[in-house]
Amino acid sequence: MPLAQSVKTTTPAVIRLAKLGKTIDDRPILRELDFEVASGEFVAILGSNGAGKSTLLKILATLTPPSSGELHLFDQKIDRTTASIRARIGMIGHQSMLYGELTAKENLHFFAKLYGVKSPSSRANEMLQTVGLLDRADDPVKAFSRGMTQRVAIARALLHDPQLLLADEPFAGLDEASSRSLEGLLSLLNQSGKTIVLVNHDVRQTLALARRVMVLRAGRKVIDALAGELTVEIVLDAMNGAVLARPVGADIGADVRPEGPVQ
Amino acid sequence: MTPAIRQFITLIGKDLRIEARSRQTLGLVVVLGLLIIVVLGLGLGVQNNVPGVSATAVLWVAYLFSGVLCFEKTMAVERSDGVLSGLLMAPMDRGVIYLAKLTSNLILVFAVAMVVTPAGVLFFGFDLSAAPLTFATIMGLSIIGFTSVGTLFSAIVSSTRLQGGLLAMMVFPITLPLVIASTQMMVQTFRDRNPVGVSSLGILFAFDLIFLTASWLVFEFVLEP
Amino acid sequence: MLRINRTLAWGYWLITAAAFELGLFLILDYAPVEKSMGLVQKNFYVHLPSAICTFLAFLVNFVACIGYLSTRKDWWDDLADATARVGVLLCSVVLITGMIWGKTAWGQWWTWSPRLTFSLVLWLLYVVYLMVRSSVESGQRRALLGAVYGIIAFLDVPLVWLSVKLMPDIHPTSIELAPAMKVTLAYWFLPVTLLSLGLIVARYRSNVRSRAVKHDAQVDPAQPVGFTLAGGKLS
């Protein structure tokens, strides 16, 4: 049974892609992607540079439209007019998406108001508390270290209590302690029912953290399996395009029913 | 308060707060405007008694250059650290981003006009006493018109790598009808002492209406990251 | 297919050249010389059709810009580029013939008359259009930004027209046209239009071709091999 096969699930799908493609300047970045992500899943996307991971995440965040195929989020087809669905998505990106001139509190307050969060001021304080930066609330973000900025960015992503959290290489530039802390936070969020899609670089970390892993190569999905089925070698080989026939463990899991042969 | 209005006010508040905090844009733009007036004054040989109708020319040059600089800087704020993506991810109509940025720009440009206009009047000895309200209306409508286009184009330019004089190059020809119309109206009012016709003012209104609407509609296409 | 196209193209340009020749004959031997202005008045036969074609080219550009924004199909962008280039070319002709007229009629190369000013602003608007396009590297981005600017620029045209009408027109340019002159003027629309259309189509096809070449040059990396598991119980 091929590993590139879509892992289909029985619980309602938060994300559903059908033959999704993205071309930028006549270069195909993503080709014919099909997969579903169910509510409460923790999915990681791996791939070498240029494989299309960041682009895929941007599309999931509704920041850019696909060139072909369809995207469904929360059972709604996404096109130009679906602004309200963004209230259920939170994103942590490469960049902080924060105003350097404003303080941490002001940034969070601003975004809370944009999202229509009730009592934005106290919610901002609450989130600052959660990420442990309440004492630096009134310092401008431009004075923060990378780790601290990332924490404020995480607070911003969670302000409106999104059901789907997208994270694009959030560990980049973080020290050991901050990384561990973020790993813990992501696990906690997933356990509390949030769906998480994580794009990451570190294969080992990803296999330990996520439950389901997809590997992209040249815009196509080459692996879509549970983390337990994979090893670092398998993933690296898939990222780099080797053919491998090697026995790996059997059952994927009782609640998962893979379908049909891959083409 | 509908969400859109709340978001609109929030965005403007953010722009003004950042401006007050960094104090970068306003000071720079005001000083640039003043410098332009001075250069023109010396260059035109004001002491040789330049006629008062050149008031619009002098002021236009000052407004256009300082205005373009202003738009570049307010849009540059959104491009740093990917904040624009943060805005685009909010459940918000893209048009609201445009209107808010337009309003912030208008506030700044009018603030500059408040300084530069009296300076121009002073240095050039313009006599606006004949019809000060007409003058204010003409320049006010013109500033709204050119800011609406400038805001749209600043979003375009900030997304390309080549910035330089690109924004100025795009804004200037589009605003020429405003320059032409306002100058002719000033000539009519101050030299010929004719009251300004409704049709002439109509051109300014039409410009503002058309370009505000068009820019607002088209803005979201410009913003895709 | 290419053969037929080439023959068609050659035929088309031959016809266009012949049309110009006939037009020149009409100007030089058929239409009478205008009494007050003399020979130079004859550039009006080129001036007016060029002006109309300029406007039509920019009108098509406007439609192409809207077309691109709504459909995102590349050929709209190719059309927009072609019409803008030809439009700028034609507008240059309008400006130059207008200036020659002005020099002969009133002794000045440039006057800020409404018509000349209008031509100049139009020219500037679309030269900037071409510059905006050339300053963007990314093809998709260039098409998008070109479309936005193109729409704004065209919406500006009636406003420019209205505003220049406010300017004093010290040199009114209406002239009496004898019947033979009217015929010549009407005829001259043919060669100018043929030339404009030919140039637009040629440039359009060249754009489409270079886009196709670029597309083919994108090497499709070998299909990544999804590897299979030997053994295991996944079915």
Contacts of residue C139 in chain A, CB cutoff 8 Å? 25-26
CB-based contact A222:C226 (threshold 8 Å): yes
Q: What are A29's two structure tokens?
A: 């970045």
Q: What are the two backbone dihedrals, phi and then psi, of residue B164, each rounded to the nearest 5 degrees?
A: 40, -125
Residue B110 confidence (pLDDT): 94
Residues 138-177 of C with CB under 8 A from A: 138-140
User: How would you write the pLDDT of chain B (225 residues) with one tens digit per residue?
Assistant: 788 899 999 999 999 999 888 877 888 889 999 999 888 877 776 665 555 556 677 888 899 999 999 998 898 888 888 899 899 989 988 899 999 999 999 999 999 999 998 888 888 777 777 778 888 888 899 999 999 999 999 988 877 666 678 889 999 999 999 998 888 888 887 777 777 777 788 889 999 999 999 999 999 888 765
Helix/strand/coil (H/E/C) assignment for every residue in chain B: CCHHHHHHHHHHHHHHHHHHHHCCHHHHHHHHHHHHHHHHHHHCCHHHCCCHHHHHHHHHHHHHHHHHHHHHHHHHHHHHHHHHHHHHCCCCCHHHHHHHHHHHHHHHHHHHHHHHHHHHHHHHCCCCCCCHHHHHHHHHHHHHHHHHHHHHHHHHHHCCCCCCCHHHHHHHHHHHHHHHHHHHHHHHHHHCCCCCCHHHHHHHHHHHHHHHHHHHHHHHHHCCC
Q: Residue C102's pLDDT band (boundaries 50, 70, 90)?
A: confident
Residue A11 confidence (pLDDT): 63
Q: Residue C1's pLDDT band (boundaries 50, 70, 90)?
A: very low
Burial of C48 (0-12, 13-18, 19+ CB in 10 A): middle
| B10, B85, B90 ranked by CB distance to A93: nearest | B85
Q: What are A159's two structure tokens?
A: 């302000």
| A64, A85, A93 ranked by CB distance to B82: nearest | A93
Residue B206 confidence (pLDDT): 92
Residue C35 confidence (pLDDT): 65
C-alpha dist (Å) from residue C96 to B136, B171, B176: 38, 25, 21
| A243, A246, A251 ranked by CB distance to C225: nearest | A243
| A64, A97, A116 ranked by CB distance to B86: nearest | A97
| B10, B85, B224 ranked by CB distance to A110: nearest | B10
* Cβ–Cβ gap A3/C211 under 8 Å: no
Give the span between the Cα atoms of A82 and A59, in whole angstroms.
Answer: 13
| C223, C226, C230 ranked by CB distance to A247: nearest | C230
Q: Which of C148, C154, C164, C170 is the mutation pick for testing B, counting most B CBs within 10 A?
A: C148
Q: What are A155's two structure tokens?
A: 């607070």
Contacts of residue B200 in chain C, CB cutoff 8 Å? 166
DSSP structural state of residue C33: P
Contacts of residue A238 in chain C, CB cutoff 8 Å? 224, 227
Q: Is B49 on the interface with A (CB under 8 A)?
A: no
User: Which value, in Å, is the radius of gyration of the alpha carbons in chain A?
Assistant: 19
Give every CB contact of residue B181 below 8 A, 6+ residues apart in sequence.
B200, B203, B204, B207, C162, C163, C166
3-state helix, strand, coil in chain C (%, to 5): 75, 0, 20
CB-based contact C157:C121 (threshold 8 Å): no
- Angstroms from A146 CA to nearest CA on chain C: 31
Q: Kindly tell me the sign of the dihedral angle through the C-alpha atoms of B144, B146, B149, B151.
A: negative
Q: Give the residue among B167, A47, B214, A95 at the shortest CA–CA distance from C224.
A: A47
According to DSSP, the residues that pair with A15 across neighbouring strands are A37, A73
Which range, A133-142, A224-233, C13-22, is most confident? A133-142
Q: Chains touching chain B at 3 or more Cβ pairs under 8 angstroms?
A: A, C
* Cβ–Cβ gap B152/C152 under 8 Å: yes
Give every CB contact of residue C149 below 8 A, 6+ residues apart in sequence.
B153, B156, B170, C128, C129, C132
Q: Is B186 on the interface with C (CB under 8 A)?
A: no
pLDDT digits (tens, 9 = 90+) for A32-81: 888 888 888 999 999 888 778 888 999 998 888 888 888 888 888 887 66
Q: Is C221 on the interface with A (CB under 8 A)?
A: yes
Residue B46 confidence (pLDDT): 61
Give every CB contact of residue B154 below 8 A, 6+ residues apart in sequence.
B71, B72, B74, B75, B167
3-state helix, strand, coil in chain A (%, to 5): 35, 25, 40
Residue A252 confidence (pLDDT): 34
Contacts of residue C131 in chain B, CB cutoff 8 Å? 169
Residue B48 confidence (pLDDT): 56
User: Where is A231: in which H helix or E strand?
Assistant: none
Averaged pLDDT, A237-250: 55
Q: Is B129 on the interface with A (CB under 8 A)?
A: no
Q: Is B10 on the interface with C (CB under 8 A)?
A: no
Report pTM: 0.84
| B10, B18, B85 ranked by CB distance to A63: nearest | B85
C-alpha dist (Å) from residue B188 to A49, A95, A190, B125: 65, 54, 71, 19
Q: Residue C176's pLDDT band (boundaries 50, 70, 90)?
A: low
Averaged pLDDT, C46-72: 93
C-alpha dist (Å) from residue C168 to B37, B186, B205, C100: 27, 13, 22, 20
Q: What are the two backbone dihedrals, phi and then psi, of residue A222, each rounded to the nearest 5 degrees?
A: -110, -20
Tell me the count of A-B CB pairs closer than 8 A: 78
According to DSSP, the residues that pair with A89 across neighbouring strands are A164
pLDDT at A208 over 70: yes
Percent of chain A with pLDDT strictly greater than 90: 31
Residue A218 confidence (pLDDT): 84
Contacts of residue A218 in chain C, CB cutoff 8 Å? 221, 224
| Exposure on the CB side of residue A239, measured as CA atoms within 13 A | 23
Query: ∠ CA C138-B67-C126 to the nearest 5 degrees?
Result: 45
| B6, B13, B89 ranked by CB distance to A86: nearest | B89
Q: Give the residue among C121, C141, C123, C122 at the shortest CA–CA distance from C132.
A: C141
For chain A, give the longest Cα–Cα distance.
Answer: 57
Q: Residue C226's pLDDT band (boundaries 50, 70, 90)?
A: very low
Contacts of residue B18 in chain A, CB cutoff 8 Å? 99, 101-102
Chain B residue with minimum CA distance to C136: B160
| C147, C159, C166 ranked by CB distance to B206: nearest | C159
Q: Is C213 on the interface with A (CB under 8 A)?
A: no
CB-based contact A137:A103 (threshold 8 Å): yes
Give the span between the Cα atoms of A22 and B94, in whole angstroms.
Answer: 22
Residue B114 confidence (pLDDT): 92
Instruction: Characterise C71 by phi-psi region: left (phi > 0), alpha (psi -120 to 50), beta (else).
Output: alpha
Q: Is B90 on the interface with A (CB under 8 A)?
A: yes
Contacts of residue C166 in chain B, CB cutoff 8 Å? 180-181, 184-185, 200, 203
Q: Give the residue among C56, C84, C71 at the shortest CA–CA distance from C207.
A: C84
DSSP structural state of residue A228: G
Percent of chain C with pLDDT strictly greater than 90: 35
For the ranges A5-19, A103-117, A137-151, A214-228, the lowest mean pLDDT is seen at A5-19
Contacts of residue C141 in chain B, CB cutoff 8 Å? 159-160
* Cβ–Cβ gap A252/C229 under 8 Å: no
C-alpha dist (Å) from residue B175 to B60, B137, C156, C159: 10, 17, 8, 10
- Angstroms from C211 CA to nearest CA on chain A: 9
Q: Is A247 on the interface with C (CB under 8 A)?
A: yes
- Angstroms from C142 CA to nearest CA on chain A: 10
